[in-house]
Amino acid sequence: MFTGLIEELGSFVNNDGDRYRFAAETVTQGTEIDDSISVNGCCLTVVALGDGWWEADVVSETLGRTSLGGLQPGDPVNLERAVRSIDRLGGHMVQGHVDGVGTVVEPGPDLRIQIPQNLERYLVEKGSVTVDGVSLTCFNAKAQAFSVALIPHTLEVTTLGTYVEGDSVNIEVDIIAKYVERLLAPHTDNNS
């Protein structure tokens, strides 16, 4: 589990087939093989690491559900280590399980993102959403899109400040909304 509070702006180095290498300093400190690191909101398992880098195996299922396959060497990435039980939960509960890929309609500071139709029902005014691993509060959630207001600090220390219209971003909706929907489904007329 993650909080959606980005620890470091790292970069994609390259990939050799399914093995992806990332440059990082902060998130490699205290990290061991088999630990989890969120890359643009996608939970990856550390399979190798060294001084200033770490690697993960990225399978076709992950590439098909995220924007990671579009990374080019040198691209910045949002990085966060998995939360420990002694840490503060400053963002919201983030699993690192990407629900879909959205498209930037308008860059920040009032970032607007178009999302797949099947995700729209999970977004509510002032609800939590994760964009490329960053915990945010959404507003104006309608017409298969939502907005988030980005403070200057977030624009500076994450990839969110680099987005232009048409960029692809990983979206994770609030897990609690998905659980509530599942629990209520047998009691509603419309089980969609």
Per residue in 78-112, pLDDT (tens digit) is 999 999 877 777 778 888 999 999 999 999 999 99
Give the residue numbers spanning the domain of 165.
100-185
What pLDDT score was predicted for residue 88? 75
Report the SS3 class of residue 166.
coil
Question: How far, in Å, CA of 64 to CA of 23, rounded?
Answer: 23
Question: How far, in Å, CA of 119 to CA of 15, rounded?
Answer: 30
What pLDDT score was predicted for residue 91? 78
| 108 and 74 fall within a common domain | no
Q: Is residue 190 part of a domain?
A: no
| 45 and 105 fall within a common domain | no
Per-residue pLDDT tens digits for 130-181: 999 999 999 999 999 999 999 999 999 999 999 999 999 999 999 999 999 9
| 64 and 132 fall within a common domain | no
Q: Is residue 89 part of a domain?
A: no
Report the SS3 class of residue 29.
coil
- Report the sign of the C-alpha dihedral through residues 90, 96, 99, 103, in that order: positive
Distances (CA, A) of 167 to 3, 82, 130, 153, 159: 24, 26, 16, 21, 11
Q: CA neighbours within 13 Å on the CB side: how many for 159?
A: 27
CATH assignment of the domain containing 76: 2.40.30.20
Mean predicted lDDT score pLDDT of the chain: 94
The type of residue at 113 is I
What pLDDT score was predicted for residue 92? 82
The type of residue at 9 is L
Instruction: Give yes or no for a contact between 87 and 94, defined as CB atoms under 8 angstroms apart.
Output: no
Does 191 score more than 60 pLDDT?
no
Q: For residue 192, name the pLDDT band (cuts at 50, 70, 90).
A: low
Q: Is residue 181 part of a domain?
A: yes
Does 50 score more than 70 pLDDT?
yes
DSSP annotation of 148 reads E
Instruction: Give yes or no for a contact between 75 and 20, defined as CB atoms under 8 angstroms apart.
Output: no
Last residue of a domain, one of 52, 81, 110: 81
> Which pTM does this prediction carry?
0.86
Count structural domains, the chain.
Answer: 2
